Structures are given as C-alpha cells and as structure tokens.
Structure 1
C-alpha cells in the first residue's frame, strides 16, 4: 500500500497477482482497478511463492507528470524467469486509472531461482529511485566464487540508484547519478549504490521528525536472513552489508568472513530464531494521531506475526527494542478498535498523513482471499481533537464507489457478546502480548500499539459469503469492500498474557502445515 503524495490522500493497495486498487479518504474503494496486469505477472497459488507484483513507487512529481513505477516477476518468450522494473503513466482522462499502454521498460534482471526476488522501489529525498534486488535465490548465495551479493559487477543482491528523468549516452532508459559510489570502478556496475544484501523485504524512507526534521531521508530495510538471524539496516552510500560473508552480526561463510574487510555496515538490530524467522521491514512513525510513537521504527516478522519496535538512543546512536502490547482488553477496549490480526505480516505502509498500517494474511498464497489491511493505533495517548485534520484535494471519480461497511468485531463488541461458548484463541502471538516494564519508561505512558483493521485486500476466488471480499476471475461480478473488516472472522481476545520473546509458535494453517513444501520468505525451509 502506498500514496501518491498529491494531496488527494488516496491510498493504492497492490496485490501480488498484479492488480492495484484505489481507496478514497473516506475508506470507500473504486470498483475499477487502477492497474490490472494479471495476464503479464508471474504468480502461482503455491504457499509462500515469492514471485508476483512486488513493488510500486510514485514519481516525486507525480502530481504534475503522472508517472509511477512497478516491479514484478514475469516469464519471457523463451520461458526465462525475470523481474522487470517499468515506468507507466496515469490516464489523462481519468486520475484513477493507469494507462496500460504507457509501459516503458527500464530494467530487466534474469532470476536464476524462484525465490529472493527483492521487490522494493522507492524514491529518496534526493529524487533518485532506489531499487532493491534479491541475491538470485536458492540458499547461501551459491553463484560464482563469492556469490552475487559481493560481486559488484552484477545487479542481484544490491541496492541500485538510478535517475529515471533521462537516458544514458549508451542508450539505457535512465541516467546514472554522477555521485553513485562505483561510477569510476571498471569492475562494478555504475547503478550499484550498496551491496552485500540477501533479500531486503520492505524498505522505507524516514520523513524525519515533524518539528526538527531530524532523521529525514534515512532509508530503513529489513533483510531476510538465511538460517540464524534477521536484520534491520540503514542504507548508506557504498555500504557493504556483509552477505554472504556475514549474516546479522556473525559470520555465515567463515572463509569469506575471515578475508572480508572490517568496514562492513552492521545492522542496527538483529534477532534470532527465538524471536522470529523472516523479517518484514516497516516504517519510522511520523504521524499525528499517536504522538508517543514518534521516532519508533515499527516492523514485524512474516512467519510468526510478531510486531516489534526500535527506539533510537540519540546519545549512543544505538537502537533499543521496545515492546508492543497487543491484545489487552484494558487498553484496546475503545470503540472501533480490535485486538487481533491475521498472522502472516506481508508489508507495512504509510498514508499521506504519516499514519502507519500493515498488511497481513491468514493464508500465505497469492490466490487466497484472506488478506487484510490494518491501521496501527496507540490507545494510550491520542492527539488532541481537531489537531490532525486535513483537507484532501478532490478527485473526479468516474468509477463506481464501493462504500465502507464495518464487519470486524471490536473488543467492546466481543466482550459484550452474549455467548456460552469459550473464547477462541487469538491469532495474535502470545509472545507479543506484553507491556514495557523498564523503569526508564514509567514516567510516560508506554506506546501500547493497537492494530485497527482498516480495509481488506480483494479476493481472487469465487464470490465469498463475506461482503468485504472481492473477486478477480469474474470481472462482471459486483465487488464489495468494507472498512473496519477482516476477510476471515476476527479471533477472540486472548484470556491470558505471557512474557514477551519467550519463544516461537507454529502459525501455519493446517493446510500449509500439511504441505510437503515447508517454506518461509527468503527461501529458508522450516521443518
């Protein structure tokens, strides 16, 4: 999910199958998609398949030039799997529809394996586009003598930086920024900005503190590990992030590690298998509605559904883990709030006002109609009434609107529901239910972050009983989407709390657990 930064406060929700939907500020969705390239995108129903429509970014000057960029998997005429980065334009006649015939191919990379496809596109404060590629897949980056990630002459396992507003003298449909770190190195591709990355899954630019602008422009990424560690990195020009010599703070390939330089860029935070198994990078909160969260980097884990936060110690420039409280009926029992969410955290998002969201699913397949979008809310401290108001620029609507219809049950509704049946177990990991216990934070309310469901991702299966689900394969079927919704029934509030980070839980659904192909994002197999 992303916004166009055009003062319309629309949000664009992209799906792995290759379709992008427009949501208006009131939560309603347009019936016709912004973009539909399902026929081109390579995606499968396989559980955990990493291929598909993986990334999108709007040009910084989108309001005036109508340009945006997409990153997706596809198969060429020779049956070779590739990822493609393309430029498209919005239709001049409809601000909510892309021109499918405007696609201009900027870059294609052959993928030697189905996994580790990267997928992030974003524009830095410098106006250049950053492209985050995977190392080529398989396990342990087995390509060549040192692996793709350490080979600056290939574009896999890299952070690339290009200028999309022009063409190179050699005919490339983009320019190379003159200050890229390896432009004068004959053994390196000039597009390379940083290297030594495995499969960065979700990166974001920090807006900076709303008042001081401190931190503005920093790029945070979650890099999925191999067998032992997941890491959070801040991208710097020319940085070597260690893979495959290192994983997290430790050696992975001992021979390479011994011979590697001492100036590798270390993660700001890394965690092991007792915490999670596949990081999903998030955002630094810079919104208005939850002031206690300002400056916290909020991220999650794809496999066990844990939400986490890091806080910077400005004196030491170190990042400390902060606990997130989820599931407490005491703090979450506000109108409109829920205390549970789908397990598999796919991505994080920021709207035009700076509020944070995350996207997750209860069944990790591109074709499964179980995706949901949640807004992160801190019920412990809210902004004063009226402070966070904004006036969206109106947009002419040609497509039919599908209105907001609440479907998820809030905590209050669940507590007041007359029932003799025992409460179901929550999908919220028990390990994530905690509060901050450090004396250091007792003077101010702890940021008890609450996930409030906002809107669903549409479905790709036949018409569902739940009105919030969409249908891809019968385009004439009327689609309905809800605001405070889930595409699967909301689990009940957990009865008990447990200490944070006490272990991991197997959260695969029964069908997924039974499959012979055990998996995780980043290509690691979990048994």
Structure 2
C-alpha cells in the first residue's frame, strides 16, 4: 500500500517535529562552548532576592533593595504588594547605594505561622545599624509596627554591610554580616561584624531582664567569642546559599575582596576565613599572616588583574533542565558581562574545578528565552524549589534604573530557530506536530507495533 520511501520520510518528519520541540542540554550540537539562554520572568527595580513559598499558595516573593516586597502567583502573575519597609530602611534613591533591604528569609513553617525575617540597614539617632527583625503575615497583611527586633549591629560606614539571611538544614537562622567598613572587626570575637551568625528563632530567652527573641544553639559555644558567632573573618559576604541537594547542608558564600582577590567560601563552623589578615589566598601584610583558629581556605579565588572585581555568590544547580550543571556551583562577577562561573568539587577531593558558562547567541535559543544581557550587571542569584536558577540583573547601578529583570536560565535549542514577533513559528510548529500525530494514527492504527513506536516518539508541545 505504501512505497519503500514513505517510512523514511515519515520518520524524518517525526524526528523533525521532535527536534523543533525539544531542547538540548547546556552544550548542544550547534553550540561551540557551554552556554545558557535567558528567559524573561519579571521586570524589576533593583531586586536582590526571589523566594518561593513552601506550601500554602506557593507564592513567589520578589524583594527590592528600596524596601519593597511583591508577591506573585506561581506563574509570576497576579502582582501584589506584600511588604513595604521604605519608611524604615536607609536607602538613597538618587545615588548608588549599598544599603537598604538586603535580605529576607521565610520561616520553614511560613505557610503555617506567617513568620519571616529581614536584614536591613537603618538609621537610629544618626547612626547606621543593621537590623535583623521578625515580621508576621496575619490575614494576608503585615503590620511593620509589630516587628520584633532580634538584633541591631552598628555599621561604621554605608558599605560592606553583608545582608544575607537563610535557614540551614538544622532549622537555625544564619545571618551574614559584613565588617561594616572597619577592617579589624572581622577578627574581633567580641564584635558581630565580619561574621556568620547562627541563632535559634524558635526559642526565646531573657538576657539582662529583657526578652530576646532567639536563643543561642548549644553547638555554637565551642566556637569561642560571642555566642552567636558560627564563623568569622569576612569582609562583605554578598549572596550566600544553602545547597538543597547536600546531605550535610553545605552553605556557600561569595566574599568581596578589597583590591586583590575575590573568593568563594564553603562555610564551616568555627573556621576563620582570613579577613583582614588575608584576602582570598593572599596575605594582606606580608610581614604577618597568622590566623587564630582553623583556617577557612577559599574553595575558589580569582584576581582583580583578570578584569573582575566584585564577586556575586550564587547557587548549586539542582534542577532538571540543565543536567550538565548538576552539582556545580554557579556564581558571577558584577563586572563580567558575557559569562558566569561554575565550579565543582572533583570526585575524591582536591582543588575545585572552574569552567565558564557563557550566554548563548540568541539564535541558539528557544523563542521564549532570547533575552540579551548587553551591558547589564548581575546583582544577585535566586533559586526556585525545583532547583532552577535565576539571575537578578540591572541595566545601571543607579537606583533610578527601572528596566531591571528577573531572568531564568534555560538550555539552548538543538537548531537555529527563526522566531517572529507574533510567535507564529511556535504555533505552526505545534500544529504541524499535531497533524503528523493524527496522520500516523490514521495510517497505522492497524499496525500496533508501528503505531506504538512512532506515537511514543512524537513530542509536541508549544514553547
């Protein structure tokens, strides 16, 4: 009934349909170097964090440096004002500013108790402080006048404030504090500056006849110094993250250097990460490079002479779309415009291996993921509960920049794809796949083995 050439043609058509619809891993057949594509999810204004609610409505939260937090539905729609702290935080909307609302963490049981935690720079009696506070959502509303102060940490200038908050796998809250502009504070164990702090926010205590809305974990006490200290010797830890796929609860940080090196640290309890005695792997003062306590050696460091100068800590990739990156830590640099860094711990130990992950040429990307970076700056990274990674980017470091973006990393396509403004290409591709599927079913319904093979091969979906 059919010619001998019909089957190859049909199989070719089916293969074409699959090729058009599916995406490759990071390194596809038409990609000469590892690269990723960028999908636009939201337009932002100096956003520093994206968080995802665990349970409940599964809301997405976007935190902006000026003190605003918006909520979105899981599909990034239905934008609503969630939290407004603009009247509380210190932030200059007319000049480049490192202050503001710098960190936020949702309680592990946020969907039940509505509790969240913020790290912000504020002015009190003409002095700058880092405020760590607890807020609570009640009936879809947050009353900032009822916030609870966990701690306030005096800052010596308006830079190097740190600001990350996160919950570890142990359930404790980790607080990442910069040296506040005072180099020596990072090695001073009677100061909270230049430290990673760990506290238990589920147990309150009374200290000096005042209620303290946290307690100090018993395991902290063998570190020495103030009880809250978990690790020390940091200049300005900017963007730290928990590896969700790690059985040991690994926490990674990017720590900004001063003039020589940027570093990535794996945070270990009771370790000294060097500043201001060391910067990365280098001694600040060649005449003295002795550290107290176990040294926290950077797992990766790079020189400013390479053209970089401000590390942006990222995340360990644990998603499904970019499987070649599984287990690799992705991070960036504020002044690197064409690629991201990835590092991975080699099997059996040894020095961490570094590779560059470039931004793909748009012609290699699916039609929905053709955002160009251009001269944009990476401000921060975020990760959803599926392990996929997002970039928070700005076109200008000036606060008035309003065309900032939240971009999702996605894999490149198998083939060069022609896209139209109306996305008709994707529409007609899907329609062609559907017609082929119906034709196969009609022609071979009597030949079940052929029907099963071909229909199980066809993958048609709109991009």
Coarse TM-score class (shorter-chain normalised): 0.7 to 0.9
- Tell me if 1:74 matches 2:122: yes
8 Å Cα contact 1:277/1:303 also seen in 2: yes
Cα distance in structure 2, aligned partners of 1:223 and 1:280: 8
- Tell me if 1:201 matches 2:238: yes
For each residue in 1:73-132, what CA deviation from the matched residue of structure 2 results, as whole angstroms up to 9, or x when unmatched? 1111x21111100000012x22xx433333111100111111011100000000000000
Match of 1:377 among 410, 416, 425: 410
Q: Which residue of 2 aligns with 1:43?
A: 91
Q: Which residue of 2 aligns with 1:133?
A: 177
SS at match of 2:275: coil
Residue 289 of structure 1 deviates from its aligned partner by: 2.5
Match of 1:290 among 295, 299, 322: 322
8 Å Cα contact 1:17/1:38 also seen in 2: yes
For structure 2, the residue ranges without an aligned partner over 5 or more in a row are 1-49, 424-462
- Number of residues of Structure 1 aligned to a counterpart in Structure 2: 366
- Tell me if 1:121 matches 2:152: no
- Tell me if 1:6 matches 2:55: yes
- 1:365 and 1:42, CA in 2 relative to 1: closer, same or farther beyond 3 A? same
- Tell me if 1:265 matches 2:296: yes
Cα distance in structure 1, aligned partners of 2:413 and 2:265: 29
Residue 178 of structure 1 deviates from its aligned partner by: 0.3
Return the TM-score normalized by structure 1.
0.66
Q: Which residue of 1 aligns with 2:258?
A: 226
Cα distance in structure 1, aligned partners of 2:196 and 2:151: 14
8 Å Cα contact 2:272/2:293 also seen in 1: no
- Tell me if 1:316 matches 2:349: yes
Cα distance in structure 2, aligned partners of 1:363 and 1:411: 31
Residue 64 of structure 1 deviates from its aligned partner by: 1.4
For each residue in 1:26-62, what CA deviation from the matched residue of structure 2 results, as whole angstroms up to 9, or x when unmatched? 22132x3100011111001354311000000001111
Q: Which residue of 1 aligns with 2:215?
A: 175
Cα distance in structure 1, aligned partners of 2:250 and 2:57: 25
Q: Which residue of 2 aligns with 1:20?
A: 69
Q: Which residue of 1 aligns with 2:309?
A: 277
Cα distance in structure 2, aligned partners of 1:149 and 1:255: 19
Return the TM-score normalized by structure 2.
0.75
- Tell me if 1:84 matches 2:84: no
Residue 263 of structure 1 deviates from its aligned partner by: 3.6
Residue 413 of structure 1 deviates from its aligned partner by: 4.7
Cα distance in structure 1, aligned partners of 2:392 and 2:196: 24
Residues 416-495 of structure 1: pairs in structure 2 closer than 5 A: none
For structure 1, the residue ranges without an aligned partner over 5 or more in a row are 142-146, 209-213, 382-409, 417-483, 485-527
Residue 308 of structure 1 deviates from its aligned partner by: 1.4
Q: Which residue of 2 aligns with 1:162?
A: 199
8 Å Cα contact 2:340/2:358 also seen in 1: no
SS at match of 2:357: coil
Q: Which residue of 1 aligns with 2:147?
A: 103
- Rg larger in structure: 2
Q: Which has the higher contact order (CA 8 A, sep 6+)?
A: 2
Bigger helix fraction: 2
8 Å Cα contact 1:285/1:355 also seen in 2: yes
- 1:262 and 1:20, CA in 2 relative to 1: closer, same or farther beyond 3 A? closer
Deviates more, 1:268-277 or 1:190-199: 268-277
- 1:281 and 1:411, CA in 2 relative to 1: closer, same or farther beyond 3 A? farther
